[in-house]
């Protein structure tokens, strides 16, 4: 059953949409564009496969089981499978995703256009067609295999309902597909279903999933070998929090998974995630080492997540959840530091810390560590996970603010015996220290750090 909240979001979402423009005559085949009227009356299923390669990055070639055009079966083939289309419009991210994939690897990119079938105001009608789409893809892949392709080279990127379609295809090949990436797999009508009725870790040799709207349109529980939960998998920063945000309120969290994946294909930032049992444990700095070996790097979100495949195979079961936070805007990267604080107050202090970094050029970045009050005890080190939007390579000044959150009442002091700043993303960088600080509550204290003494072996 679809929850009342999810159904309400679907129908209010639809009410915000206007009629899409009719398709015009084009030289190159393009994604099917339908009108909102088509969504109201419903559409019969018709699956089109459009091939892009580095030879035709912007102009697709229509292919099918008997017409392969320029598809080279000896290369990797990535299928992009979209989801529910309640208004008939093409996915706004599709063109960018095709270009980004081709920019990182010489491959075949096949856009699976099942807009005639996904376009309907009745979500359950679109959901009921997912297995039929999977059957069409199975027939095409069978022809690829007959021409010499390998299942190892088949990669499927499925968005929402498309993630489950990819899972159904993988199940038909008994998990021998090379890889499946699920981008916020659909939750309504799939939550609580058995593995054979949804995406599952056994559907490919490696399955990675990004959950960005697990409290509404997405699936909450783990579905892959590694399941990424940006910002805990719930509300995404930069997305509207109320219906006053209009259309974006309904789609922003759900689509964020796609844009995070897109970020992984660009060189502007690399998003690192941290395997952990819960988001709270991650925020409390309990899960920042990855693997039993110190040489084991943390998993990367998105396209390069399969770098962790061999390590996961050593686990029983070969599954893990990974958490991370993002910025509000593209490319969404955040840079993690530990702030180690030893205090010498006679009495216990509880409160939040805000830390700001500045480099010699005057660039600044700030982190508010306020997800829950921190307890500071005399001569006890507290390690706080700080997250910054910018990575300042050479920090010239640091400021700290201590707050108990009290608007009225006494002002407290936090007496710091030692503060240490260390980068998680770049552990080779020198650690920065400062000694003997007194923080007056809600007053910014600015200081120049010094290099921490190296540990004696």
Burial class (CB in 10 A: 0-12, 13-18, 19+), 2: middle
Across the range 8-21, mean pLDDT stands at 38
Domain boundaries, given as residue ranges, for the chain: 36-324, 335-451
* Separation in Å, CA 39 to CA 21, 42, 83, 86, 243: 13, 5, 14, 6, 23
pLDDT at res. 295: 53
Q: Which residues of 237-274 are buried (b: 16+ CB within 10 A; e: fewer)?
A: eebeeeeeeeeebbbbbbbbbbbbbbbbbbeebebbbb
The token duo for 61 is 């070639």
Residue pair 155/76 in contact by the 8 Å Cβ criterion:
yes
Alpha-carbon span 245 to 271, nearest angstrom: 27
Catalytic annotation, pick one of 113, 254, 257, 367: 254
Across the range 123-140, mean pLDDT stands at 97
pLDDT at res. 12: 41
Q: Which residue has the higher pLDDT, 25 or 443?
A: 443
The token duo for 79 is 């299928």
Residue pair 376/348 in contact by the 8 Å Cβ criterion:
yes
Annotated binding site: 198, 200, 203
Alpha-carbon span 9 to 427, nearest angstrom: 44
Annotated binding site for Ca(2+): 198, 200, 203
CATH of domain 335-451: 2.60.60.20
Each residue of 292-348: pLDDT tens digit?
A: 544 567 899 999 999 999 889 888 899 999 999 999 988 899 999 999 999 999 899
Q: Is the pLDDT of residue 7 over 60?
A: no
Alpha-carbon span 120 to 122, nearest angstrom: 5
Phi, psi of 36 (to 5 degrees): -65, -30
Q: Is the pLDDT of residue 8 over 70?
A: no
Residue pair 197/222 in contact by the 8 Å Cβ criterion:
no
What is the band of 247 on the pLDDT scale with cuts at 50, 70, 90? confident
Each residue of 186-213: pLDDT tens digit?
A: 999 999 999 999 999 999 999 999 999 9
pLDDT at res. 242: 83
Question: Catalytic: 184?
Answer: yes
Question: Catalytic: 254?
Answer: yes
Catalytic annotation, pick one of 30, 38, 160, 423: 160
What is the band of 111 on the pLDDT scale with cuts at 50, 70, 90? very high
Q: Is the pLDDT of residue 26 over 60?
A: no
Of the chain, the percentage scoring pLDDT greater than 70 comes to 92
What is the band of 451 on the pLDDT scale with cuts at 50, 70, 90? very high
Q: Is the pLDDT of residue 457 over 90?
A: no
What is the band of 409 on the pLDDT scale with cuts at 50, 70, 90? low
358 strand-pairing partners: 364, 397
Catalytic annotation, pick one of 35, 153, 164, 184: 184
Each residue of 360-369: pLDDT tens digit?
A: 999 999 999 9
Regarding the domain delimited by 36-324, which CATH topology (the fold level of the hierarchy) does it fall under?
Rossmann fold (3.40.50)
């Amino acid at each position: 059953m679809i929850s009342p909240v999810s159904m309400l979001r679907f129908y209010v979402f639809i009410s915000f949409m206007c009629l899409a423009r009719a398709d015009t005559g084009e030289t190159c085949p393009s994604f099917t564009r339908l009108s909102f009227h088509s969504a109201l009356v419903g559409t019969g299923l018709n699956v089109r496969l459009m091939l892009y390669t580095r030879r035709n990055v912007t102009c697709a070639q229509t292919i099918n089981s008997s017409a392969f055009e320029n598809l080279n079966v000896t290369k990797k083939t990535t299928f992009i499978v979209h989801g529910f289309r309640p208004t008939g419009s093409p996915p706004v991210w599709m063109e960018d995703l095709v270009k980004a994939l081709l920019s990182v690897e010489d491959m075949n990119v096949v856009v699976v256009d099942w807009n005639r079938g996904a376009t309907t105001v009745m979500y359950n009608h679109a959901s009921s067609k997912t297995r039929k789409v999977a059957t069409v893809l199975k027939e095409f892949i069978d022809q690829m295999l007959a021409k010499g392709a390998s299942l190892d080279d088949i990669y499927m990127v499925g968005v929402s309902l498309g993630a489950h379609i990819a899972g159904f295809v993988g199940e038909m090949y008994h998990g021998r597909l090379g890889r499946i990436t699920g981008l916020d797999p659909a939750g309504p009508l799939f939550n609580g279903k058995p593995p054979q009725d949804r995406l599952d870790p056994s559907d490919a040799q490696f399955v990675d999933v990004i959950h960005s709207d697990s409290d509404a349109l997405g699936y909450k529980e783990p579905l892959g070998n590694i399941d990424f939960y940006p910002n805990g998998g719930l509300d995404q920063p930069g997305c509207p929090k109320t219906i006053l945000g209009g259309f974006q309120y309904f789609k922003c969290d759900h689509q964020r998974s796609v844009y995070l994946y897109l970020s992984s294909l660009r060189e502007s930032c690399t998003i690192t995630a941290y395997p952990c049992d819960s988001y709270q444990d991650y925020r409390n700095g309990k899960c920042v080492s990855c693997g039993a070996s110190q040489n084991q790097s943390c998993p990367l979100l998105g396209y390069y997540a399969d770098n962790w495949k061999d390590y996961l195979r050593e686990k029983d079961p070969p599954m893990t959840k990974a958490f991370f936070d993002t910025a509000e805007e593209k490319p969404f990267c955040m840079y993690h530091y530990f702030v180690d604080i030893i205090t010498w107050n006679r009495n216990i202090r509880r409160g939040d810390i805000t830390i700001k970094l500045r480099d010699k050029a005057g660039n600044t970045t700030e982190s508010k560590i306020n997800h829950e009050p921190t307890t500071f005890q005399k001569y006890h080190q507290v390690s706080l996970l700080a997250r910054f939007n910018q990575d300042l390579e050479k920090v010239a000044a640091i400021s700290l603010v201590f707050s108990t959150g009290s608007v009225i009442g006494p002002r407290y002091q936090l007496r710091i015996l030692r503060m240490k700043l260390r980068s998680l993303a770049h552990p080779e960088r020198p650690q920065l220290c400062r000694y003997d600080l007194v923080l007056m509550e809600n007053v910014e204290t600015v200081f120049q750090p010094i290099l921490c003494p190296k540990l004696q072996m």
